[in-house]
Chain A
Amino acid sequence: MVRINLPKKEVNTFYNAADTMPEEEYCSGLACYVSRNLKKEFWKKAMAQRPRTYCLGKCYSSPSSSSTHEKPIIEVRSRKSVIGRYLLKGELTLKDYISLGGFKALEYALTSLSKRNIIKEVEKSYLRGRGGGGFPTGKKWLLAYNQKETERYLIVNGDEGDPGAYVDRFIMEYSPFLPIEGALIAAHAIGAQKVYFYIRREYPRSVARVREAVKSMASFLKYKLPKIVVVVGKGSYVVGEETALINALMGRRPEPVFKPPYPTERGLYGKPTVVNNVETLSNIPYIISNGGKEYYELGFSKSRGTKLVSLNSLFKRPGIYEFEFGVPLKEIVSTGGGLKRGKVAGLLIGAPLSGVVRPEEFDTRLGYEELEEIGSSLGHGNIIAFNEESPPGEILREIVSFLSYESCGKCTPCRLGTKKLEGILSKGYILRDELEEVYDIAHTLVSSSLCGLGIGAGRVVLSFLSKYRRVIVHEG
């Protein structure tokens, strides 16, 4: 039994934007940091702003503020387009979406497939979660489907908080019907009676568009569908972690909870719950319409289908590109057209919970395991290139200070360990005397943190130290 809706006053203190925020917000995120020299006055304002804003999803034109409105380049670079084709024409209306073949998959799923067979198609496609965990989506659905409890929920995770990531944002803005269609198929397959669509507050346009879409669909679809509730965030990064998200929806502090039991067994209100990322669900209509097998033929190794990657503003051609898994990193970098300033000194893929990639490693191919192998991780497919203006020690400082700021504080290593590291790194490098302590804390974070945030924090430090130790560590 979980008590819901704890006293709001205290719960709200968890969020940095539950009360008031400045009219114009400036982003302190990592993508804005590495490109700070492109618009120095923006970065200055960001550094002065309290409370801080982390990532406005405008990393293609960063340093960014809430009042600029440029659009990113969007291109399809895969043999077949799964999602990208819905993003090429800007904001779609319901009619536009239908003319592109929208809602055919939902209709087919509702009328011609059994629930079990929908899940089978998704299993066949070998679609994996795009929210960072990479868990096979079909398998997740099956876990919920097999529960005894019949009250079930689906949560769409639109919290996209990773710096440099803005794919979910543009899916929600340009084609909100796509993840909604995927969500309705998912809800139907797992037998969920209600869908919660959680969107971060930093994406006001996404919120408006998804709300609009939910409304406009109501009169259009003749099937009895689960209710979709749109919930808007209040400023927290860790709330994107699925168990924290569930707590947030219940009006509790958005702190992660240990697993197992997984949400598929005990999630929202203690009931079986599937949490899926916006992009993950946006793949579903294609899989249902074309069959899991066809989807599986795209991509390679254990990473199938396509992935939208987002490039930061230091690239000459920053934007969203749909690639098939398996594309070498160097091809992505050249698609971005090289950098506006300086040379590529390294890539941050899947930041902040993932390691750094050195230019020597650019032959690596885009894939879950392949990136893990070089100590990095796919994350949201967010790729931030940095140049020599940003020394690795300072990048690490930015990441660690972000994670310390966003730590929920529940578990010891993350609450106090990231804080301690933040202190040590505040100068932008590590002294030799401090090195042992840094290693000890990082290892402790990796081995004993409760959720991915603390574990990721430790991994980032270890990755930077293994790849840039010589420049990060200074002799006393």
Chain B
Amino acid sequence: MKVKIDGVEYKFEKKISILNAARKVGIDIPTLCYDRRLSPNASCRLCLVKIKGKGIVTSCTTPIEDGMEVVTDDDEVRKAVRMNLRLLSSRYPKPALKKRFDQLLERYGLKEGGGAINREEIDDSHPFIYVDMNRCINCYNCVRVCEDIAGRLVWRITNRGAESRIIAEGGSLGRSSCISCRACVDVCPSGAIEDAMLVKYGTPERYYWSVCNMCSLACRVSVGVSRNKPVLIRPAGEKPLDAGGCLKGRYIWEDAFYSAERLHYPLIRKGGFLKKVDIKDAIGIASEKIREAVKEQGSEGFGLIVSGRLTLEEYYMLNILSREVIGSDNVWNSFTLCYQSILGEFMNSIGSIWPSIPYKEIGISDSIIVVGDVDSYHPALGDAIRELSLQGDARLLVVGTSPSTEGFMQNASDVYIKVEKERIGGLFNCINKRLVEEGYVDLDYLRGATENLGEYLGVINGEKSCENNAEKAVEMLGRGRNVSLIFEVEPWYESTKELIDTYILLNGRERRANIVPLFEECDLVDAFYILGGRSIDDLAQKAKERELKTLMIVGGNILRPAIRERLLSSLRDVDFIIEIVPTLDYFSRYYASLVFPGRTYLEKRGHYLSSDMTIRHAPSSLEGTEFQEFDLLKGILEALGYSVGSMEEVWNVVKEKIRKNVIAKNNSGKKYKFLF
């Protein structure tokens, strides 16, 4: 599709909106009511452009057409945009915040804002959200995001015309059914709905980089600080896959950082109660308990449970503790606890559970398949994928199984297939079969790259029946030149095999296929050190037989509830449990004998490994956070007679290890094996 924008001809692959097309080629068009997460509302009337032969239209709602000629900024357009902005500003209080609306006013040289401030329009009844409807410019973004994305109806419009206003359900946000997702804060362009934290502590004085560890993507984020307190998290960039803009990452930290249960010093259990203890003494007790356990039971007497959200430096220290100092393999982590069965399938077939590309490279795919609820578990990635599709960068096939996937992803998809979970395997089996039948696979290439092509073809041509009708999907994938298969792996998925086979089949000389497995609740990062670790039954067994004397739990526990229950029941039989966590949780409250205060990611220094094998550096810059988990572990190791260097020295060792082990493993040249 060829479209002329401001005199220059551009080519586009998909029929996207003029707005998205223009932005894609770097031409900015002012908008207020457009938000990439919402379907257009076309109410602000700022995104005006002129189409030759047709006149002025809103670019957010008008799709491009072949041969179209668009002018984004001529006299008539600018005049109308300016007038609409002026009308909006006539009731707006003095521009103060640097919200999008304020920026637009500045860009158009408008300083009118001087609307009266009516106290009744201010609602501070909600602990996290501050409402000042004097600033509202009636874009309805809040109403739409609440209805369409949060699935609530908290924000409502009353009256009509110039009298229309936005109100919270029941007239008070604090008493409404708001779930505090703060999506409305995010989409409000005027600051009428604002983060209470910002209002309370002020706009950030400075920002520093950190790495969000709320999911395995480990996005870089920017932390805004006011009076040495973090008040705001911003995404690191504006492009999709710069990510870091998801709601989880933006807000969940507050719950931990500002929690009333935040730990500031170690606690020791005495007569059933947790009592404050000096840090030096606590380190002494911990190392003593470890030594005792080993003395009684040998190296099997001590074990570790580690979360998936630690820094690489911390993993290194824990590895030293377990493998070198104690000499055991007693390390459990969330990944192996949840995914042991599936692990084997990956290793057996493609030799790795890592994504075959860094997430950023999904951006160069022309076709993307999404299976499962990416949005709920990896929201930043879900956002990015949706945007790639809406911007026309890639065709999107969504295989939806849950209602939430339907709502969000479906709207952005080119092909949507709804299927029950148990039938995903059948669907992909069918896709695979058709890919072969319709000549979309490069058999010559696959013969060389796989171990068992002949056998596989025999099976899919023969006994495996094709129950689904998947023509559109097959056509889309077949025509793709760079296809990314992104799927949420759940422990009970039956379909992993077929999905891996699809990935293998799509590889060829003319087409590159990428596989990006995502693990819904658990993370890969820790698995990097401890792959092939031990299962939960193994842990329970050891505890039951009273073999395990001392157990150390590092990081907030993030296991799935089902497993958590089983874990808790076996932990009763462990003599001494040491825990390192930022906030007092039920583990520490009821099971731990010794609790060390941990750091949230906002305060941590170190490096994270994103599950796509990209390394991210977090340099903390909050004052008073110098002593960290690293130092604590170092103290314990030293008390056990083992000395390690500084964090920088440790990092250099880790870096080397990653290069050797992981990168090399990924390029081992091993042949693929179909699983069917």
Contacts and interface: CB of A to CB of B under 8 A. Distances in A.
The judgment on whether A and B are partners is yes
Interface of A: 1, 3, 6-7, 10, 13-14, 236, 253, 258, 404-413, 415-420, 440-441, 443-444, 447-450
Contacts of A408: 160-161, 164
Contact of B45 (A7, A406, A409, A413): A413
A322 to B, nearest CB: 36
16 contacts: A10-B156, A410-B138, A410-B140, A412-B44, A413-B84, A416-B87, A416-B88, A416-B162, A418-B161, A419-B161, A420-B90, A441-B83, A447-B80, A448-B56, A450-B42, A450-B43
B399 to A, nearest CB: 18
A412 B88 contact: yes
B413 to A, nearest CB: 14
A411 B153 CA distance: 21
A413 B83 contact: yes
B539 to A, nearest CB: 45
B160 A14 contact: yes
Given A444-B80, A444-B83, A450 B45 contact: yes
B164 A447 contact: no
Contact of B87 (A236, A406, A409, A420): A420
**Residue among A253, A409, A450 with the most chain B CB within 10 A?**
A409
B485 to A, nearest CB: 27
Nearest to A454: B45
Contacts of B42: 258, 411, 450
Contact of B79 (A7, A417, A440): A440
A258 B61 contact: yes
B160 A409 contact: yes
B30 to A, nearest CB: 12
A417 B91 CA distance: 12
B164 A409 contact: yes
Contacts of B167: 10
Interface string B38-51: 00111111101000
A418 B157 CA distance: 20
A247 B80 CA distance: 28
Contact of B48 (A10, A13, A418, A447): A447
Most buried by A among B44, B55, B147, B157: B157
Q: From DSSP, what is the main secondary structure of chain B's interface residues?
A: mixed
A415 B137 CA distance: 11
A266 to B, nearest CB: 12
Nearest to A257: B42
Given A10-B157, A409-B138, A416-B88, A258 B58 contact: yes
Interface of B: 40-46, 48, 55-56, 58, 61, 76, 79-80, 83-84, 87-88, 90-91, 137-138, 140, 147, 153, 156-164, 167, 169, 407
Contacts of A443: 76, 79-80, 83
A393 to B, nearest CB: 22
A409 B162 contact: yes
A356 to B, nearest CB: 24
Given A258-B58, A416-B90, A449 B159 contact: no
B80 A448 contact: yes
B87 A410 contact: no
A154 B168 CA distance: 35
Contact of B43 (A406, A411, A419, A444): A411
Interface centre among A13, A404, A412, A416 (most CB of B within 10 A): A412
Contacts of B91: 416
Of the candidates A10, A258, A441, A444, the one having the most CB atoms from chain B within 10 angstroms of its own CB is: A444
A447 B156 CA distance: 29
Nearest to B84: A412
A444 B55 CA distance: 13
Given A7-B153, A448-B58, 16 more contacts: A3-B147, A10-B167, A408-B161, A409-B159, A409-B161, A409-B162, A409-B163, A412-B43, A412-B45, A412-B84, A412-B88, A440-B83, A441-B83, A447-B56, A450-B43, A450-B45
Given A420-B87, A447-B55, A448-B80, A404 B161 contact: yes
A406 B161 CA distance: 7
Contacts of A417: 83, 87
B159 A13 contact: yes
A475 to B, nearest CB: 25
Contacts of A258: 40, 42, 58, 61
A433 B153 CA distance: 46
A13 B44 CA distance: 22
Nearest to B410: A1
A7 B147 CA distance: 12
Contacts of B56: 447-448
A61 to B, nearest CB: 30
Contacts of A420: 87, 90
Contacts of A441: 83, 87
A161 to B, nearest CB: 14
Given A253-B157, A448-B84, A415 B90 contact: no
B175 to A, nearest CB: 15
Contacts of A450: 42-43, 45, 58
A412 B80 CA distance: 11
B480 to A, nearest CB: 26
Contacts of A418: 161-162
A106 B666 CA distance: 73
A411 to B, nearest CB: 5
Contacts of B41: 410
B141 to A, nearest CB: 13
Nearest to B159: A13
- Most A CB contacts (10 A, CB to CB) among B147, B162, B164 go to B162
A411 B61 CA distance: 14
B173 to A, nearest CB: 15
A267 B310 CA distance: 52
B167 to A, nearest CB: 8
Contacts of B140: 410
Contacts of B43: 410-412, 450
Given A1-B407, A409-B164, A13 B158 contact: yes
A3 B150 CA distance: 13
Nearest to B406: A1
- 4 closest Cβ contacts across the A-B interface? A409-B164, A416-B87, A407-B161, A444-B83
Contacts of B162: 404, 407, 409, 415-416, 418-419
A450 B47 CA distance: 12
A450 B61 CA distance: 11
B160 A10 contact: no
Contacts of B76: 443, 447
Contact of B84 (A410, A419, A444): A444
Interface centre among A14, A404, A410 (most CB of B within 10 A): A410
Contacts of B40: 258
A10 B41 CA distance: 19
A408 B159 CA distance: 9
A450 B156 CA distance: 21
A147 B160 CA distance: 34
A412 B156 contact: no
A407 B164 CA distance: 10
B178 to A, nearest CB: 15
B61 A7 contact: no
Contacts of B45: 411-413, 448-450
Contacts of B138: 409-410, 412, 415
Contacts of A14: 158-160
B647 to A, nearest CB: 51
B105 to A, nearest CB: 14
Contact of A444 (B79, B147, B157, B407): B79
A14 B160 CA distance: 5
A295 B40 CA distance: 42
A415 B90 CA distance: 12
Nearest to A1: B407
Contacts of B48: 447-448
Contacts of B44: 411-412
A417 B86 CA distance: 10
Nearest to B167: A10
